[in-house]
Chains A and B, each alone.
Chain A
Amino acid sequence: MFSRVGLVEALDLRNGNLTLRSRKRMTLGTRTQVRVQLPPGTGKVVTVPILLESEQELPGGTFLYRAVVDTELPEQLEFRGDDPILRQGRRVDVKIRARAKELPQFQATVTDFSRGGAQLQLKGPIKQKLRFVLNLDLEGFRLDTLAVPIEVARATSNGDGHECGVRFLPKDAQQQKDLDDLARFVEERASSGLQKLLNQARLADPLPGAVTSAAASPPPSPPPPKAEPPALCLPVKARLDGYSRNLTSGSLFVRFVTPDETIHTLEFPACHWLEDRETARCAEVARMQSEAVAAEEEERLGPGAWRRYSLQAEDGEALLELISRPCKV
């Protein structure tokens, strides 16, 4: 059900993700409609249905929300915001493996990340205020690893395991830049519509080797019967200039002429059968159909792959048909 709130301030709108500032508190996980000025400064107010995903309380009693736009908005309405609040404390859910050379037993996964720090899930307990160098194993980022000094700001242990929040202590400007770049990288991944598609794809079709629980897995279904692959229809759009046969090798050489008058020769090795149907009437080849020969015919022809080819006119009429080994240049 939709509820309506008043005018809110749009801070960033990209890839169907809206970041907004509101004076009123809204309920996360609900669909609502907001009225926003889009693009900012134009005076044009648009009512946008959204799904609220996260909330951050800001100084001064306002709230920062990140939401998914629940409708198709014209691309020209999108904009990249430059409000400083967008660069502060934006925490993004991630899954990054982390190690520490100084602590051999240390094993952790970074579960959320911002420019200033990160949240880690740990294999064992850790002390507050501990300082060490954290090594992040990165995928897809311009750096494979990033080693950054940190301080454990808080540490908790409960039945689910151990967690800690760490604060980054970059040693120089370059390291701060690397952290900024990494934060931007994970933010962009998180806010990209394509990333959502990719995630959905992974859920629908897990990668080979992905761990799935036995309870969640459906029983294996029997493999489908092996079907003969359908004929392949390759676009040609060229004039058949002629063909010749090498009587020693048995290869058939077919010459095509493209509109730029270039001659292209395709070899059909060990051509076994050839039927010239209509090349005298029409030499314009629109496509080449290629299919595997029937199993019984293959047995007759001999071991290895054999294919039936048909050069066809625009109306689908076969101009030249043959059986040979797979064609080559």
Chain B
Amino acid sequence: MQTQLAQMLFRLAWADGVVKQSEVDLIADLLAQKGVRLAQRLAWMDQGLSQPPASISMEAAMSEHERLQCMEALVKVCFADGHPQPAELTLLGDLAVRWGISANQLELLRRKN
């Protein structure tokens, strides 16, 4: 799940074409919270945030609980500065539809931030 979460966070960060420092810091915190060790985190982030990611699979093999955890992290990044970009919201919406997460659940996740 850590790899998939990282990939999706990178993709979300790149959704609007620019990776902001606040997004980098938040992704680092989130990956650390999910138990990704420092060296792994640095290597992943260096690779994933230095250039827009190639297409990644959105069909992640995750349990429902993991998907919700993943979505919570994505919502955090998306709403980090209070001004989500349209491209980020589109990606979030697409993932929510794919994963069967209702708009209300998304709203609850947003409010948890």
Contacts and interface: CB of A to CB of B under 8 A. Distances in A.
A198 B46 contact: no
Contacts of B46: 232, 234, 288, 290, 307, 326-327
A139 B86 CA distance: 21
Contacts, number: 109
Given A201-B89, A235-B24, A327-B43, A229 B51 contact: yes
Given A197-B84, A234-B42, A327-B43, A188 B25 contact: no
A202 B106 contact: no
A208 B107 CA distance: 25
Contacts of A238: 38
A258 B38 contact: yes
Determine chain A's interface SS by DSSP, over half rule: mixed
Contact of A195 (B40, B47, B103): B103
A258 B40 CA distance: 13
Given A75-B111, A140-B96, A326-B47, A198 B42 contact: no
B34 interface: no
Contacts of B113: none
B84 A140 contact: no
B86 A201 contact: yes
A328 interface: yes
Interface in A257-292: 258, 262, 264-266, 288, 290-292
Contact of B110 (A194, A264, A265): A194
B43 A329 contact: yes
6 contacts: A141-B100, A192-B102, A205-B90, A262-B37, A262-B38, A266-B39
